[in-house]
Amino acid sequence: MAHQINSRNPGELMGISARTNDIHYGKLYAGYVAKRNEIEEKIGKIKPYELEFANQTYSKLRGLKEGETFAANGMILHQLYFSILGNGGKPAGELYKAILKQWGSWESYYNEMVAVGLTARGWAILAFDFSDMKLHIFQADAQNQGGVWGAMPLIALDVYEHAYFIDHGSNRKAYIEAFFENLNWEAIDKRYASIKTVVSK
């Protein structure tokens, strides 16, 4: 079954314009969904004889498999990004409590997340790593680089220029601050609750 757009455009937000979200959601995110479907269809049509030409420098299969992870992660991270934006409010809930326990204070976590957002070329991601059962902030310079196997992303901060340049120019920090102002902690906590369910089994 083809992948579908399963998030929603949050529209006008505090510090993030409707125009930015229309482009980001309607072109970038939707484009990743379409491209993932296209790539997976092409992989399914590769002929047995084409596998004989598989090569690490260049081959049809290499190009498709590299594009597959970039499109898939682009789709997944954008779905998360848009699903947690809107209905902004103060941090609250079980994930907030877990952050306080691990970082000692909201300020310590927030400052680290902002700093990673300023150093990353693509994404700053708060994720739960099942290998050590802890929260981590990961930096990804590209969608298919910097992720950790077996970790579930909870907060995905897109810091590619398309996410903020219309509204903030080169002031990425102002955009990151706006991102946090717009976080929907109820939606984030639902995602975190699914982890707790798995862990408790």
- Same domain? For 58 and 124 the reply is no
Taking the CA atoms of 29, 165, 70 and 118 in sequence, report the sign of the dihedral they define.
negative
Q: CB under 8 Å to 66, separation ≥6 — which residues?
A: 144
We report the CATH number of the domain holding residue 148 as: 3.55.40.20
Among 33, 48, 83, the domain-final residue is 83
Asked if residue 108 and residue 24 are part of one domain, the reply reads: no
CATH of the domain at 36: 1.10.287
Q: Are residues 57 and 145 in the same domain?
A: no
List 153's β-bridge partners, or say none.
127
Question: Which tens digit of pLDDT belongs to each residue from 17-45?
Answer: 999 999 999 999 999 999 999 999 999 99
Asked if residue 104 and residue 47 are part of one domain, the reply reads no
Q: Are residues 64 and 156 in the same domain?
A: no
Residues 102 and 182 in one domain: yes
Domain of residue 51 covers: 18-83
- Read off the pTM: 0.94
User: Does some domain include residue 4?
Assistant: no
What's the pLDDT tens digit per position in 160-191? 999 999 999 999 999 999 999 999 999 999 99
Residue 116, CB half-sphere, CA atoms under 13 Å: how many? 21
Other C-beta atoms within 10 Å of 140: how many?
A: 22
Q: What distance, in Å, lies between the first and last C-alpha atoms of the chain?
A: 30
> Minimal CA–CA distance to 163: which of 19, 56, 42, 1?
19
Backbone angles phi, psi at 200, to 5 degrees: -75, -10
Tally the domains of the chain: 2
